[in-house]
Amino acid sequence: MQESLESLVGLLESYRGRDKVIRTVCYGSQLVGGVWSEKTSSWSSDLGRRLLLFSAQLSHCRTVLRLFDDLSMLHYCRSYGLGPEEADGGLRWISVLNNVADQLYYPCEHVAWAADAKLIKAQSDRWWLLSTVLWGTSLLLGTLRSIRLLVLLKRKLKRCERAGDGSGESASSSRSQLLRQMRGEVLTILSSVADLGNAIHWMPPGFLWAGKFPNWLVGLMGTISSLIGLIQMNASNGGQ
């Protein structure tokens, strides 16, 4: 119990950890609120409405916090550059395009937020749409990147098994590491696909299933993605 509490406190004390927790609670509230708001009783419907309002406030909180993410994203993009350390050319250029989409996303969202807050005179709908398109593009590129990584890891796994005949401590360790990386990429794909489903839902009506998700389904997709993010963060911290 004490160890779990310390882990939670440590998670909340880091910016990325706190954001993931807020995101999980945000979508979880939307999931439960969406289900309860469809109940027939007035008490259940009112509770569902309040949970949906709570979810909206948490979403707004994350939007405000992202006002300060531009520099960290810029630093990451500059550090990665054109990906000279990536041996695979396809993987390198997918990553570069992904970084460009992520970098452009933040200022577009900032303008949309500022327009809604009446800080500037602009039509926020256009900027929200542009930021959603960039987010969806980033998710799609991230999915393609993970698929490409899976292909490369599978090739490495086959070479490792042929070289070591699947025996020996070194071969077994390498195989376990490759399998762990592959499982991580599968989780990343699931997370990206879940978020991509929501991104399409928030596109203008008429585009695929835009606007057709009920609140509970948006919450479910977001909760799945958020829980995967927490699992991956915990695995990453555990491996350090």
Q: What token pair was written down for 29?
A: 């509230």
pLDDT for 238: 62
Q: What is the pLDDT of residue 138?
A: 98
The whole-number pLDDT of residue 6 equals 81
Q: What is the pLDDT of residue 132?
A: 98
C-alpha–C-alpha distance, residues 152 and 163, integer Å: 16
| pLDDT given for residue 82 in this prediction | 85
Q: What is the pLDDT of residue 64?
A: 97
pLDDT for 204 equals 95
- 8 A C-beta contact, residue 51 and residue 29: yes
Helices (H), 2-123: 2-13, 15-37, 42-65, 70-80, 89-116
Phi then psi dihedrals of residue 239, to 5 deg: -90, -5
In order along its 240 residues, the chain shows pLDDT tens digits of 777 788 778 888 999 999 999 999 999 999 999 999 988 788 889 999 999 999 999 999 999 999 999 999 999 999 998 877 777 888 999 999 999 999 999 999 999 999 999 999 999 999 999 999 999 999 999 999 999 999 999 999 888 877 665 456 677 788 889 999 999 999 999 999 999 999 999 999 999 999 999 999 999 999 999 999 999 998 877 654
Cβ–Cβ under 8 Å, residues 51 and 33: yes
pLDDT in the model for residue 124: 96
Q: How many other CB atoms sit within 10 Å of the CB of residue 175?
A: 17
Q: Looking at residue 165, what is its pLDDT? A: 54
By the 10 Å C-beta count (0-12 exposed, 13-18 middle, 19+ buried), 7 is classed as: middle
* pLDDT computed for residue 88 by the predictor: 85
- Closest by CA position to 186, among listed 153, 221, 151, 150: 150
